[in-house]
Structures are given as C-alpha cells and as structure tokens.
Amino acid sequence: MNAKEQAQFRWDHVAKPLNSLGSLERLIVKIAGIQDTPDVRINKRCVLVFCADHGVVAEGVSQSGSEVTALVAKSIAEGTANINLMASVSHTDVFAVDMGMAVAVPGMIDCRIAAGTKNMTHSSAMTRVQVEQAIRTGIDLVGEMKARGYQLIATGEMGIGNTTASTAMACALLICTPEELTGRGAGLSDAGLIRKRDAITRALHVNQPDNSDPIDVLTKVGGFELAGMAGAFLGGMKHGVPVIIDGVISAVAALVAARICPAAVEAMLPSHMSREPAMVRIMAELGMAPILYADMALGEGTGAVALIPLLDMALQVYHGPHTFDELGMAAYTPQEERA
C-alpha cells in the first residue's frame, strides 16, 4: 500500500463509523500522500504572508491607499497583526515576505523585485522576467521552510488593490466578465465597485491576457505577491509540503499554479469559502470544496490558519489509541444503502 492507502487503512480502524469525520479524514489522507508517509505530522507550521503594492490603486479601486500595505506589513513583521493573533492560537509561525512593496519594511523576508506593479489599466503590470523570478522565489521559499523543519505552510497576502488584480486574473483565466466576478474587496461603496469593474475591464482590454498562458495572465494583470504565492503552491508539489489556500487572492494564485502544472493541486489544501464572487468558480475549477463557511474576507492568511486547529483535532483521533482492536469490538464495514 502507498502512504494514502495506509492512512485510509488507519482511519478505517479507528473506533468510529466509517468516514464520520468527513472532509477532515480526506485531508489527512491527502497530507499523507503529500508527505509520502502515513505517519502524518504537522507539528511545525507557518504562514507565509506575501506582500506587494499595485499601481492600479491610482484608479480608485480600493478604500485605502497603498501606504496601508506598508503599515499592515509592519504589524505582521512585528507580530501584532490579525494574522499573528489568530496564528498564535495554533502555535503557527508567521513570516511577512516583501515581494514588491512600494516601501521596504524592516523585519520582513526580503524578496522584493520592484516597488510595486505598474498601473495595469495603462500597460502590463509586470514583465515576464519579473513574474518568473517571483514564481521561482515562491518555490524556493517553500524549500527553505521545509529545510527549517516546517511540515505545513499556509498562504496569506497583503497588498492594497490586490482583489482588483486577482479578479482581473480570474476573469482572464475563467473567461468571465468583471460584472460576474468583481466583489467589494475590503468594503467598497457602490461607486467604488463601479470604478473597480471599470478598471478591470480597461486592464483586460488594454493587455489582452492570453487565457492559455497563465504566466502571461500574471504578467499583464497580476501582482508580485500573486506570483510568489503561485510559486509557493508549485513549491509544495516540488518539496512534498502541504500548502493551504486562503481566500480568493490565494485561490487565484493556486489556479495559476494548477494551470502551469496540474499535479500541483495534489499538494494544495482548501480552507474557507471567501465571500468574493470568483471563489466558487475557482474552487470548482480546482476540484475542491472548502472546509469552512464563515463569510470571511480579511485576508492575510486568516482563513488558512483557521483550518489548522481542525487538522490538529483530526490528527489527535487519527494517531490516538481508540481503535476497534483496543475496544475489543468488530470494526464497522461498508453497508449497502437501502432504496
């Protein structure tokens, strides 16, 4: 038996009705396949918060200005942000990663490629060379985290304007209109939502991203943090580390990774269903069902780390002594359903 089959065998011998922990059982089996061992361990885990700025903010697509990216990134690096507080509950380490912020912040992992993207309503957001560099950076970061002993990685992001970029990418990748997929991000007014849709429409028209080339889509209407996260998902596959998808921005990056290499999906774990309209379509495209439906839209990796305590609880049962043999009772067996 391979690692996944051995993990399923273990679940089937835990003293409980078969498959009664549902999606949590399936995630543990999936992690066994990623780690290539039925002895699933996620004791050391971290969240990588990829940070960058976006030139499209000049179009009035966000409630706050680009200066907020640096302020929040600073609080993440200092350990006081929302993601740090939530991650502390599950003893998850938090790393802020500068992929392309307008202002450098001390205490971050410095992977800065440029001082933010260009305004995608006027030209391509980045060059292809920059995007490929960002993707390689994400892949390498996962390798570095594994070398440091991390067994599970959650993805997060911070970048004012990045719901605009990610929605533009989703429109291009899924062949949908901005009217179908554009949400309010961090709380846009009706007028702001109209500006956001208009900016996405103009960016798609100006750049004509190639749906068959995910790197071209990233280059023309994406962002440095999105490219870094796409690399992280590819890194999960390369290095055998499970990587958790957060909300819609992280999910768009996961979709890019899947388009680059379909096998990358095997190292991805879903977490929650973001309230952004594109999320349902992206999850369907990835063949995944989120575990949490909490109407979250905070970002930073908060939805991804919210999954970790559930995994911990499932693993307590998985590794526990409560088996049919221990109780001296016959194991449950699959039963035919009656019409």
Please list the active-site residues: 300
For the chain, what is the radius of gyration of the CA atoms?
A: 20
Residue 339 exposed, middle or buried by CB count within 10 Å (0-12, 13-18, 19+):
exposed
Strands, E assignment, the chain: 45-52, 93-100, 109-110, 152-158, 243-244, 268-269
User: CA-based angle 308:312:315, to the nearest 5?
Assistant: 135
The residues facing 159 across adjacent strands are none
The DSSP 8-state label assigned to residue 42 in this structure reads: -
Residues in contact with 320: Cβ distance below 8 Å, sequence separation at least 6, in sequence order? 14
Enter the tokens of residue 14: 């835990």
> d(Cα 32, Cα 40) in Å, to the nearest integer?
6
Cβ 69 vs Cβ 52: under 8 Å: yes
81: left (phi over 0), alpha (psi -120 to 50) or beta: beta
- Give the pairing of strands 45-52 and 109-110: unpaired
Least Cα distance to 19 among 266, 267, 334 occurs for 334
